[in-house]
Structure 1
């Protein structure tokens, strides 16, 4: 079980526990770690939390993620002899955004002005068929513009804080690079649904659209960074062979 501490994040506790097992030799260099599912059960956490912990260990140079095979130990001690900087985990950040920005979007639907809707529509169009950096910038501006539409400075500050945390977090940056490498970019279609809900001034539809969008982001990132265990692949092949055996 991961050590509990009031001042640490859940994924950090899991990362420390796995790191301790690596340093002690329980998981030797070259060995594959238990599956994500088994680690989640062992530490009584969700699979996204395990994914965040693995990202932290990857940044520390302790493990290497090999898509289609698993997560392997590549060093017995972290880079520079100590664990590196950690910050808000990617999935806990998305969970917070889903809760907070959903309500912000609902309030914005009741207060948004026509000029702001024009700006949002232009940002949605910018996400279509453009490079990743421009799409990401348009994505951030889209969400911050919705916050400003509430005419509530505390909500604007909250959204800016969440996006600044995303930009600052080394864990989110690594996960984002992996997602981009797998072809995950801001979903123009999701943003259009949010825009249309705002344009009809429907708070319930706006809240639902924003929450669904951020759920879609989480699911897409999970799928793009999924590590398929070797045993699972072998089991599928064996089952396939048995099914078609003469």
Structure 2
């Protein structure tokens, strides 16, 4: 990956253009480079190019590869963007700077307990099942007020909402709905948009976009 015309440069330019179209500052959008299934040699070019925000899907995979990388690049911010089992809450709180997949009462309780024990508050996003898809994680839209209320009651620092819209359909209505839900609940961060649709997400208010394949290519193999 060269510094000129690299995938990273192309994504940054795409974010900047989409932000300009929406009358937003490009700096208001955080690019999360989703490095799941990619090993350290694939990640290091982005680190060398100055990128510092990365996303992983699984606690175990992140724990295997990121401590060594963070020793070399201590200013990295690591985001968990995949589903989280409640019994992994302690590990997640220790390892990640943000968790994007809070979606059920048991996980809210587990994370709050883990944060209290660790003395560390990890920024959280509540994942909404925006397309009401049975196979996807995320809380139902109707359950969102109750889940946010529970999070507030136990001191979980919820900063925003996250979604993964249905595949192979126009994502804009789903992004717009998530933005409305966030406004309705006084939340100002939106984790939405991936490789195929991040410009649309940015124009509709995304503050965090989760881009993997457009940066890294096809998925790698990580033990």
TM-score by length of 1: 0.26
Structure number with higher strand proportion: 2
TM-score by length of 2: 0.27
Structure number with higher helix proportion: 1
Quick check: which has more Rg, 1 or 2?
1
